């Protein structure tokens, strides 16, 4: 594997030094995140290696690309360096350096060939998605090859094969996949259809199978089964667009395999043999002044990983992505309660309406309801996973003043999502945001939020003041204060301060912040994980060239 990395790097450097500049161009990016850890027992930032001994951790990515339009060629390499990193496992430091990504992509008429690390997805990602989400430490591309063939701009065929990346090596199960996407328009041009189908095959390696067998042999006779080497997942989907309507629907099925038992009803970490299925649909309508979006999803045992064996990091071996239905809030307190998709059992409904009676006012109404689809065998009051009601009104008071006010109610099953606490946590969160444009370059933004959540942390208040001086400077200060805590969760009325500064020079951005962050769920792009409390200084560099 190291030899392959070395060869790819040398190949890239040869292209760098021999390519004629008039035929192509180079581009790149560099990102650095460095954390300095300051111990703070009051908020729970202690008794971890970072706070007790290491004190500093850093994550770095350097990416270089070369594109040659004449030869329809693109190639790139990315070097990753982690030292005492908290990205993969927030409670455990990780150090490593190597080639994090490399690829070569060549187009030959209607055929495109890609080799190396490949990011891709089929449909909405239900049966297959490889992607990078640096904020959560996710980087799971396929190391292999992909062929894409365009049939007269109407149908795109895709086939791929390889093994999934794990740190700077690969995992052993072999992944094979095929995907076909269509794009058709009716003769009158009033409607379009974009159907698609996909299939993947995961072929388990002998070592992984042996681990599964060892686990199964520890069960009573009734719980034993013979695990399979091969698992198949298929999906069919279609997007129909006509007038102001757009409807996406996808149905997926996965053959039986060894999966983790439903942790909702049984805390025992055991395996069962089960097939899986998932149905997901989104219906959108928009016209002048109004937009409506309806979502539905039903999931049953759609656990799709490289292996059910335990992994160090939460997202290691994840092969797919189940789209969440609950709203992804950006404000600090409303974002504390979010419902990530459940692989075992979930029935989810969502609706959002946006209404703009004129250019100065916009109203947003959103609701979601997520539950276990099995209701008869259990107490119905314990089968609700999440429910949310959200309202926001945005008002352009004048050319320089914009105001947003709103309210969120959330019913959160903390026992399900956090494996602890009460299954019926109610959160009430009013909020307001005011933006004042002083002139073309200067602006001021303020946020105020209050949250009452008796069965969790108690009562919160959050305030932020942000000043922007375009195009170079941005500053903010904030405090998240648990002023009336629930003594069973947090005995102290803690302050979580944050001071932030940023400087932007062209394509380069530098940030410096002092942060105190409460323990909780952190979500990015619909993917969530539990992170411990943080206390310290953060330095960031983002540069493109």
Torsion sign (Cα): 155, 159, 164, 169: negative
Helices (H), 19-108: 49
Range of the domain at 146: 109-262
CB contact set of 206 (below 8 Å; sequence gap of 6+) = none
The Cα diameter of the chain in Å comes to: 75
309 contact partners, CB below 8 Å, separation of at least 6: 208, 211, 212
Q: What is the pLDDT of residue 267?
A: 44
Asked if residue 175 lies in contact with residue 204, where contact means CB atoms within 8 angstroms, the answer is: no
Task: Quote the tokens at residue 319.
Answer: 């092969």
Has residue 140 been placed in a domain?
Answer: yes
Report how far residue 161's alpha carbon sits from residue 143's, in angstroms, rounded to the nearest whole number: 8
pLDDT range class, residue 409, cuts 50, 70, 90: very high
Identify the DSSP state of 311: -
For residue 158, what are its two tokens? Answer: 């895709």
Question: What is the C-alpha separation between 483 and 462, in angstroms, rounded?
Answer: 10
Q: What is the DSSP letter of 35?
A: E
pLDDT band per the 50, 70, 90 thresholds, residue 4: low
Q: Rounded to an integer, what distance in angstroms lies between the CA atom of residue 209 and that of residue 218? A: 15
HSE-CB of 295 using CA atoms within 13 angstroms: 18
Predicted local distance difference test score (pLDDT) of residue 313: 81
Asked if residue 377 has pLDDT above 60, the reply is no
CA dist., res. 221 & res. 338, Å (int): 40
Q: How far apart are CA 299 and CA 281, in angstroms?
A: 12
DSSP letter string over 78-102? EEEEEEEE-SS-TTS-EEEEEEEEE
Neighbours of 397 (CB within 10 A): 12
pLDDT at 420: 86
Q: How would you classify the pairing of strands 345-358 and 290-300?
A: antiparallel
Q: How far apart are CA 507 and CA 543, in angstroms?
A: 6
Q: Is residue 383 domain-resident? A: no
Does residue 255 fall inside a structural domain? Answer: yes
CA distance 117 to 140: 9
* Measured distance CA(311)–CA(259) in Å, rounded: 14
261: which residues sit within 8 A by CB, 6+ positions away?
268, 269, 270, 271, 272
Q: In this predicted model, what pLDDT tens digit does every residue of 341-360 receive, in sequence order? A: 999 999 999 999 999 999 99
Reported as a single tens digit per residue, the pLDDT across 318-349 is: 999 999 999 999 999 999 999 999 999 999 99
DSSP 379: -
Task: State both tokens at 261.
Answer: 């038992």
* Rounded CA separation 417/386 (Å): 10
Instruction: Report the domain count for the chain.
Output: 1
pLDDT(7) > 70: no
Find all residues with CB under 8 Å of 210, minimum gap 6, and list them. Answer: none
Name the pLDDT band for 265 (thresholds 50, 70, 90).
very low
Which pTM value belongs to this model? 0.92
Alpha helices in 192-326 (DSSP H): 206-216
Whether residue 234 is contained in a domain is answered as yes
Buried b (16+ CB within 10 A) or exposed e, 249-274: ebbbbbebbbbbbbebeeeeeebbeb
pLDDT of residue 12: 56
69 part of a folded domain = no
First-to-last alpha carbon distance for the chain, in angstroms, is 30
Question: Is 254 a member of any domain?
Answer: yes
Instruction: Examine residue 120 and state whether it is found in any structural domain, yes or no.
Output: yes
Distances from the Cα of 163 to the Cαs of 81, 105, 107, 228, in angstroms?
22, 18, 23, 18
Residues 6 or more apart whose CB falls under 8 angstroms from that of 227 comprise: 204, 209, 212, 213, 216, 257, 258, 273
What value does the mean pLDDT of the chain take? 92
pLDDT tens profile 140-173: 999 999 999 999 889 999 999 999 999 999 888 9
**pLDDT tens digit string along 444-488?**
999 999 999 999 999 999 999 999 999 999 999 999 999 999 999
200 belongs to a structural domain: yes
- 74 closest CA partner among 116, 42, 38: 116
């Amino acid at each position: 594997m190291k030899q392959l990395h070395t060869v790819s790097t040398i190949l890239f450097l040869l292209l760098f030094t021999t390519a004629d500049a008039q035929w192509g161009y180079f581009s790149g990016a560099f990102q650095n995140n460095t954390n300095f850890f300051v111990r703070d027992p009051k908020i729970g930032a202690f008794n971890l290696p970072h706070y007790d001994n290491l004190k500093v951790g850093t994550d770095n990515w350097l990416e270089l690309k070369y594109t040659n339009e004449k030869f329809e060629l693109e190639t790139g390499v990315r070097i990753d360096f982690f030292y005492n990193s908290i990205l993969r496992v927030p409670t455990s430091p990780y150090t490593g350096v190597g080639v994090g990504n490399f690829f070569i992509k060549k187009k030959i008429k209607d055929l495109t060939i890609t080799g190396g690390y490949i990011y891709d997805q089929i449909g909405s990602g239900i049966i297959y998605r490889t992607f990078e989400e640096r904020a959560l430490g996710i980087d799971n591309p396929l190391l292999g090859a992909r062929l894409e063939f365009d049939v007269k701009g109407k149908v795109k065929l895709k086939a791929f094969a390889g093994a999934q990346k794990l740190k700077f090596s690969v995992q052993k199960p072999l992944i094979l996949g095929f995907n076909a996407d269509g794009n058709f328009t009716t003769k009158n041009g009033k409607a379009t259809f974009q159907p698609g189908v996909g299939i993947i095959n995961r072929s388990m390696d002998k070592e992984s199978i042996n681990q599964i067998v060892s686990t199964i042999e520890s069960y009573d006779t009734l719980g034993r089964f013979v695990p399979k080497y091969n698992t198949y997942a298929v999906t069919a989907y279609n997007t129909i667009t006509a007038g102001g309507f757009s409807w996406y629907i996808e149905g997926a099925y996965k053959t039986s395999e060894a999966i983790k038992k439903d942790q909702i009803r049984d805390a025992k970490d055991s395996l069962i043999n089960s097939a899986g299925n998932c149905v997901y649909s989104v219906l959108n309508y928009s016209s002048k002044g109004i937009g409506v979006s309806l979502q539905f999803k039903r999931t049953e045992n759609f656990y799709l990983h490289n292996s059910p064996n335990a992994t160090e990091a939460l997202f290691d071996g994840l092969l797919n992505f189940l789209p969440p239905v609950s709203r992804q809030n950006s404000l600090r307190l409303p974002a504390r309660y979010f419902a990530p998709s459940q692989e075992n059992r979930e029935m989810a409904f969502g609706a959002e309406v946006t209404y703009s009676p004129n250019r100065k006012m916009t109203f947003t109404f959103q609701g979601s309801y997520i539950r276990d689809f099995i209701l008869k065998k259990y107490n119905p009051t314990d089968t609700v996973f999440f429910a949310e009601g959200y309202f926001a009104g945005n008002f352009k008071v004048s050319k320089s003043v914009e105001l947003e006010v709103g309210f969120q109610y959330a019913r959160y099953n903390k026992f399900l999502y956090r494996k602890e606490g009460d299954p019926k946590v109610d959160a009430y969160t009013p909020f307001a945001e005011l933006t004042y444009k002083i002139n073309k370059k200067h602006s001021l933004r303020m946020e105020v939020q209050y949250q009452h959540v008796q069965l969790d942390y108690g009562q919160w208040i959050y305030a932020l003041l942000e000043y922007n001086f375009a195009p170079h400077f941005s500053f903010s200060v904030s405090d998240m204060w648990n002023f009336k805590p629930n003594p069973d969760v947090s005995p102290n009325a803690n302050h979580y301060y944050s001071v932030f500064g940023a400087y932007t020079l062209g394509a380069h951005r530098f940030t410096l912040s002092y942060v105190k962050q409460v323990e909780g769920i952190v979500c990015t792009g619909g993917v969530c994980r539990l992170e411990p409390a943080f206390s310290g200084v953060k330095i960031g560099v983002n540069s493109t060239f």
